[in-house]
Structure 1
């Protein structure tokens, strides 16, 4: 415990007094302090000037990161017949219908993305209280309710990231690994920020993007200059 505390204090000293850095400088700082024994995820947090409790201020979308997330994404698909076979062929780890509902109700949630064909949504609807709070509920707006199961599965495994504003108007997401080359992380961060910018809702008033920060899984966060995050 003492060792961890010492490392944490040292990292915080590195970050002290540093704020609103250019993207590349922020990445260098985060990478230098990602010293855990595993490959830490580089995470982005965006504070938005919205109240997602109002429908016209909800921010939700999807972005294909140009360099992927570095994460092995497990996909569950609700489908029958030929579409179920299509999902399995595309690499989905879990495919089913009523049996998948029962499995999830039993507490089996060993997946990161849920996709469904439109005809399965009445069935999937039974799982709203389980999947909803985990941001796993299939939604046509982000391409997870679709007949093109193959493309949806491949996108999920190829670096597609969904985002949704939480109650306080904050968006969190992983945008790569600490082992990524700096330029690849920069490209991913800019792609994510641009996607959130494009998703600005009609009801947003005043400053839309208030603050953008990045951190590693175990490290402190540092805010980045918005101008440098929207130019590549």
Structure 2
């Protein structure tokens, strides 16, 4: 823990006085100070002026990051027959129906994204208490309940990121790896911010995007100028 403390102390010192910076400056700071022994994820956190407890203020959606996430995503698909074969051909890691439901009910959740054909939802619905808290429940609004399982699997594997506002109105996600080129990280950050901006719900009142910050897995956060992040 001593080394971790020194690293964080040094990173905080480097970030001192660097609040409200441009996306480019924030990316450069985060990359420079991501010095863990593994390839840290660059994470974005956005504080929004919404109360997700109200249906008309919920923020959720997906975005295809132009340069991917750098993360290997394991995809599970609930499907039968030709659609199950389509999912397997598209690269799904796990495909099943009742058997997959029983596996999940037994406590084995060896996947990062869950997709289902509409006819499978009566089965998948029984897993709400298990998949819901993990943000893995298939939902037509984000394209994970669909007959086009090929497109859904390929999108998940190709760098598509889901986002959803949590109770306090915070949205966060990984937008790449510290090893990425700065320009690619900047593109990913701007694509993510734009997607969240487009997802502004009808019930949002006052300032929608209140705060944007970037960090690496093991590093402190740096706040980004909101107007710069949104391109305004």
Would you call these one fold, judging by a TM-score over 0.5? yes
Quote the offset at 1:227 in angstroms: 2.0
SS of residue in 1 equivalent to 2:92: coil
2:83 is equivalent to residue 86 of structure 1: no
**1:95-129, Cα deviation, whole Å (9 max, x unpaired):** 00000001001111111100000000010000000
Q: CA deviation at 1:155?
A: 0.3
Tell me the equivalent position of 2:135: 135
CA distance in 2 between counterparts of 1:194 and 1:5 reads: 35
In structure 2, the residue matched to 1:62 is 62
CA distance in 1, matches of 2:48, 2:2: 37
Unmatched 5+ residue regions in structure 1?
Answer: none
How far off its partner does 1:5 sit? 1.1
RMSD: 0.9
Q: CA deviation at 1:2?
A: 1.4
In the superposition, the TM-score normalised over structure 2's length comes to 0.99
Task: Give 1:228 deviation, angstroms.
Answer: 1.8
- Between 14-23 and 147-156, the greater mean CA deviation after superposition: 14-23
2:187 equivalent to 1:187: yes
Question: For 2:196, what is the secondary structure of its paired residue?
Answer: helix
For 1:208, the equivalent position in structure 2 comes to 208
State the shift of 1:231 in Å.
2.7
Offset at residue 22 of structure 1 (A): 0.5
**Mapping of 1:69-148 within 5 angstroms?**
69-148=69-148
CA deviation after TM superposition for structure 1 residue 229, in Å: 1.4
Matches within 5 A, 1:146-161: 146-161=146-161
For 2:48, the equivalent position in structure 1 comes to 48
SS of corresponding position for 2:186? helix
TM-score, structure 1 length as denominator?
0.99
Deviations 1:132-159 (A, max 9, x none): 0111000001100000000000000001
Aligned equivalents of 1:109, 1:19: Cα separation in 2: 39
- What residue in structure 2 maps to residue 25 of structure 1? 25
Query: Which position in structure 2 is the counterpart of 1:218?
Result: 218
